[in-house]
Structure 1
């Protein structure tokens, strides 16, 4: 039967009588009919609010009937979606208002213009019921417009920012997230602005919702760029530590998100979590993705004070079952030796113990990192080369082969049978990956320089393969370079002084700083904490179409400790980032800054 019959103007007292009827109605069928009549009257614009002052109408069973209306906000028919939102907007009941928030938020972004128009009007209606709720949704809408528009950018001043912070206490957890996100549009212009706002945002770090905590951390990390006193910055760093630690007691998914964000934070502010390294020790039941994320943070937080604890943990991890975890643990031991010189001896001992296990993938990872240790500390640990050479038969991975070949070539004069070892590797030269071929080519030349008699037969053979039998341009170019420094193509007239200067030149100083993220990218990702960009560690414009890049806007109080932070960005933003342009309004793209003073949200905030 059609529902058209319900669309008749009903009198309040008649509907109240039917609603409060005492007749037995176990299935509530009669009262559902009355509720349909009420909804129909509200859809026609009749004021039904007196009915909701009755206790019976507030009964959860009937409220659930109205809440069900929110499901229609996802209906394929745009007319149904719009009607659902408009109907719920007329109901002044707390549970209905709460249930309206999520459907309304989705409808504000709906593809259909009629739905968006209805949702915008409903936001205004919602203001009559819950002013604070409207603020959060209005801010969310304006932030969304700013993110998606090519010529509109959100801009806040200190007065409006303070009003938004004041509204946080009255908002739901998701409303707080939207307001905190909007605060990223505030650019401090006066000394003390950033410090004041940080202090007011800091209580959000204690929130139970992880999204609120991470977004608050993002705002604080952003505002610290505009602080001038080291004392204030250090105090904020101390306040960030406990909430981030608390996130690690959540489920593995939340832990992983937190760990990926923490990895960014400690690269910019190492003092955060410096004394909390134990919370990153891996648990037996941690998923592998959590373990690997913790390992990286452990390495970065390691210092001369806690290195013994870290090394002990890494040695234990290197004996576990999961291959990926073991590999990363072994590699971390080697990186630790390079990072902290005082622990190099202990790290070498630990690696030798692991090599003695004869576990194939453990041995290969150990050889890879020992190569870096040899480069970092020349003429200190060559006594272990014999142990490494005992495991040549276990090498079947390109990186491990290349590392071992480098060691043989670099210390060809100390390894008695270095020519035989290289000859064995050369047996499969043409079938090897390029990185192994490059290593073999250079190692053979080094052998000839250090032991001319032993290497004189190998060099011509390798150079011929590299220049005539392979297609890789890098390998061929290196082969031709080696031919040229010998003089004539068919003769080996060698100026040893010149050859040594080229082939045996000093290597670049090896450090673990190469593991650090490029400063400009790091600064941008810190502006995207709690988003996918902070998990992927990639700028959002690389995987989200038309995403706007974020950067630190010039200001009289912008902290310039990192002068490189504005370099190497897209040249289109060069003028803007140079400091010669102070506001969005005058940038090359003619971006219009949206000022809350010109919008309804200003009036809403004044009423709070």
Structure 2
């Protein structure tokens, strides 16, 4: 009977039965009990209370039972670290067992148990197994080194495991070599150190092992070869020759990894005959990938898309392979379509267009749209085939299918821009389909065509008038195009009807709309027409730049990055790995390697001089004047900043422009009650819109209302410690980003310029996006302010205990460097997307360990709960629930926020308890970063007080 019987339904008292059976002297009964425990563990039941009884079953000669017990240990050792130490003697004993399977099993299990107390006992068995006579044991031990490095990197380096791994690259067994390569590559990625370099000697050993190891071993070796930089073209040719047989492998990952290596080496090979030969060799394996199931096809197509962007000649003769099949999933069809566009050439365009035309009759609307747009992209890319593409588009327009016609008009607009004054004869056909247009992009495209060729369309004013009837209800895209097209029509045909149309459009766009883009464009056109019609013609009717089809092409730098990551998720997402990896791998450093940088040494020296060495920043008042020996290029910030260019003088409005407008000024005379300033018609200004171009009114304007008082920034560096320079500042949040708001006042007797800033390492990895501070030179007695964008950089994470302190240095060209401390407020870290569902709140609260919970009583009285909710929401702390607790006469508010932390955002969960008759509130909080709790408790009193 199969082992499925152990996955029976739960029954009462089964834990007690398991315990009795595990203590039984009957070996078969004990083995069955362990199988039942593993089955229960597999389906999610908690059987951790059986830990001592299962561990007692370790000492057995039955290999199957030993594997089951080891599996249980790996799962529950973290929850029972003190009991897990019971199995160490058995592990050490099994690592010296005559059976190589047991030796490998023991060292592999010890490596998977991430308990510090066991780690120190792993070293001796691991060292023996790395030099074991059996290759199976050696290859298992090689992987175990990477696991141990992830737990304790110092231990791995001190015991010389890295050197042993490098020696294993010369092992006689290819699987040992492959595992050593995989382990070294993993350690290099985690540590950020250059621990694995392929030399000319190790290159030959890796190439030799490549032919004999398993398919996944080949992937590891090929990926490492992709990072090797050959010495010369001959070296590159040798690698290509040895790797090219892997193109015939049955495993898709091996094929793509081999393609990655070959493409990198081909860039260095000068023999063009060899390059063309390799291009021909790479085509069949890539084509073969498309015969697999749909999911593998999609991955292959995403990789091929990158390859054809770099080297389209590889598959230039294989375009037929990418023709869509009727039963292809839509995601496969879309990728094939994209590749066909990139492979389309004058030689195969007729075949490709025939396919696209066929796809345009499919039932899937999205696919049809993509096919029609593909025809337009081919026309833009291939000049000699443009006419054939247009003929196909016209045939599709004749089908009168609404979405086909609209997509065709959109792409024809692009063709007109690519080939001006060449295919305008088809405009009449397009105008016949105005009534079918109901999508904003299609309407905007048709309006652009009418406005651009208004002089060639007899009834252009009538056509535009059809769209103007529904102007207020149209989307912003259509409205913007209508404003521009109407102005073009007016400039090309300045008759009475266009005059009325432009009056209607500009009046509405400046007075009735809330869209700032539409309003600004209308004002610009109005002033152009009122001031200088000839200038308006030069601007509005200027020759358009020729467009190119690069809508789906990647930037060269990004493309090269993705090609270096072929056969990984990066090549499927078409994003660099750092854009979607959820856990940022931080560089692991030994304690004795954490030498302070020049910046840190100076911070420490200043702190020591004040008697505060090692103390966390306690507030904003602490600061220090610069020491004379620190005035060199301490911050490595370079030389003095160039002096700011003087601001250009404001342009003076001429008063003699009334005659320049000529007849057009007369036509614009009826646009409304316009004020005349120096003969120039000024557009009416809505009360909510400040006109930046308007001339000052002759009469004195009423005094503006007093602006609300803005709280001054806290002083970071007082004048007595800054040689007359006062610096105030605070970390805050603007437009969803963390920024440092700074204010300067020069109380010294000399002008100051060239301000630069740098942060020391801190608990949240904050550092300025740029070292230069965008503040103008400060004359004596003058002040200035700046907003410095801040980034979160893993390299800036502090290795010391977490706190909210920031250590900052600011220098200028005249006074040198100043050091001071600041405190990071929690509100600067809270993001705008902190809301979560109530179910997610409850599950998150349960999954976060209780050790991460913190609470504090605050002397704050909540008198207006609704106002408090609004105040908290303004700093991105959002309400989840508000309820009454009748039994305790308390009110409870549940809140949530999300803090920007390096690697991944941290969810912050809050519970506020209070009674209206009792002073004070109780705050409970949980998060995966316990160091956020003190920052929260510091911020809440000010946020809750009204």
8 Å Cα contact 2:381-2:548 kept in structure 1:
yes
Instruction: Look up the match of 1:193.
Output: 235
8 Å Cα contact 1:123-1:137 kept in structure 2:
no
Instruction: Look up the match of 1:531.
Output: 568
What are the residue-to-residue correspondences of 1:263-342 with 2, within 5 Å? Answer: 263-342=305-384
Instruction: Look up the match of 1:381.
Output: 423
Alignment deviations for residues 474-521 of structure 1 (CA, whole Å, 9 cap, x no partner): 333322221222234xxxx622xx332211111111222454211111
What are the residue-to-residue correspondences of 1:457-472 with 2, within 5 Å? Answer: 457-472=500-515
Q: Distance in 2 between matches of 1:116 and 1:430?
A: 72
Instruction: Look up the match of 1:125.
Output: 129
Instruction: Look up the match of 1:446.
Output: 488
Out of 544, 561, 565, which is 1:507 matched to?
544
1:463 Cα deviation after fit: 2.3
1:301 Cα deviation after fit: 0.6
Report which stretch shifted further, 139-148 or 314-323: 139-148
How many residues are treated as equivalent by the alignment?
507
Q: Distance in 2 between matches of 1:91 and 1:286?
A: 54
Report which stretch shifted further, 150-159 or 320-329: 150-159
8 Å Cα contact 1:485-1:499 kept in structure 2:
yes
Alignment deviations for residues 347-377 of structure 1 (CA, whole Å, 9 cap, x no partner): 2222122112222211111111111112222
1:342 Cα deviation after fit: 2.5
Going from structure 1 to structure 2, the CA distance change for 1:380 and 1:160 (only over 3 Å counts) comes to: same
Q: Distance in 1 between matches of 2:24 and 2:64?
A: 23
1:180 Cα deviation after fit: 1.4
Q: Distance in 1 between matches of 2:118 and 2:515?
A: 58
Going from structure 1 to structure 2, the CA distance change for 1:383 and 1:141 (only over 3 Å counts) comes to: same
Going from structure 1 to structure 2, the CA distance change for 1:92 and 1:123 (only over 3 Å counts) comes to: farther
Q: Distance in 1 between matches of 2:366 and 2:31?
A: 59
Is 1:482 the equivalent of 2:482? no
Instruction: Look up the match of 1:21.
Output: none
Going from structure 1 to structure 2, the CA distance change for 1:483 and 1:183 (only over 3 Å counts) comes to: same
8 Å Cα contact 2:73-2:113 kept in structure 1:
no
1:267 Cα deviation after fit: 0.7
Instruction: Look up the match of 1:363.
Output: 405
Instruction: Give 3-state SS (helix, strand or coil) of 1:185's partner.
Output: coil
What are the residue-to-residue correspondences of 1:184-223 with 2, within 5 Å? Answer: 184-223=226-265
Instruction: Look up the match of 2:921.
Output: none
8 Å Cα contact 1:256-1:290 kept in structure 2:
yes
Going from structure 1 to structure 2, the CA distance change for 1:511 and 1:86 (only over 3 Å counts) comes to: farther
Q: Distance in 1 between matches of 2:110 and 2:330?
A: 39
Q: Distance in 2 between matches of 1:416 and 1:268?
A: 47
Q: Which structure carries more relative contact order (alpha carbon 8 Å, separation 6+)?
A: 1
Unpaired stretches in structure 1, ≥5 consecutive residues:
7-26, 49-61, 550-570, 573-588, 590-608
Instruction: Look up the match of 1:231.
Output: 273
Instruction: Look up the match of 2:533.
Output: 494
Alignment deviations for residues 270-319 of structure 1 (CA, whole Å, 9 cap, x no partner): 11111111111111111100000000001111111111111111111111
Q: Distance in 2 between matches of 1:118 and 1:249?
A: 50
Alignment deviations for residues 66-110 of structure 1 (CA, whole Å, 9 cap, x no partner): 766775575243477998998987778798899x79x95x98687
8 Å Cα contact 2:22-2:30 kept in structure 1:
no
What are the residue-to-residue correspondences of 1:63-142 with 2, within 5 Å? Answer: 71-72=71-72, 75-78=75-78, 104=108, 112=115, 125=129, 128-130=133-135, 131-142=173-184
8 Å Cα contact 1:314-1:330 kept in structure 2:
yes
8 Å Cα contact 1:214-1:530 kept in structure 2:
yes
Going from structure 1 to structure 2, the CA distance change for 1:309 and 1:113 (only over 3 Å counts) comes to: farther
TM-score, normalising length: structure 2: 0.49
Q: Distance in 1 between matches of 2:121 and 2:176?
A: 15
8 Å Cα contact 2:77-2:115 kept in structure 1:
no
Out of 427, 442, 455, which is 1:413 matched to?
455
Of Structure 1 and Structure 2, the greater helix share is in: 1
Out of 476, 480, 499, which is 1:456 matched to?
499
Instruction: Look up the match of 1:158.
Output: 200
Greater radius of gyration (CA): 2
Aligned-pair RMSD on alpha carbons? Answer: 3.8
Instruction: Look up the match of 1:57.
Output: none
Report which stretch shifted further, 173-182 or 109-118: 109-118
8 Å Cα contact 1:158-1:186 kept in structure 2:
no
Of Structure 1 and Structure 2, the greater strand share is in: 2
Alignment deviations for residues 530-554 of structure 1 (CA, whole Å, 9 cap, x no partner): 11111111111112256689xxxxx
8 Å Cα contact 1:466-1:475 kept in structure 2:
yes
TM-score, normalising length: structure 1: 0.74
1:166 Cα deviation after fit: 1.3
1:434 Cα deviation after fit: 2.6
8 Å Cα contact 2:24-2:30 kept in structure 1:
no
Report which stretch shifted further, 207-216 or 121-130: 121-130
8 Å Cα contact 1:337-1:347 kept in structure 2:
yes
8 Å Cα contact 2:57-2:69 kept in structure 1:
no
Q: Distance in 2 between matches of 1:246 and 1:545?
A: 33
Q: Distance in 2 between matches of 1:92 and 1:388?
A: 85
Alignment deviations for residues 150-185 of structure 1 (CA, whole Å, 9 cap, x no partner): 444632222212211211233222121112112233
1:187 Cα deviation after fit: 1.5
Report which stretch shifted further, 63-72 or 377-386: 63-72
8 Å Cα contact 1:42-1:90 kept in structure 2:
no
Going from structure 1 to structure 2, the CA distance change for 1:224 and 1:487 (only over 3 Å counts) comes to: same
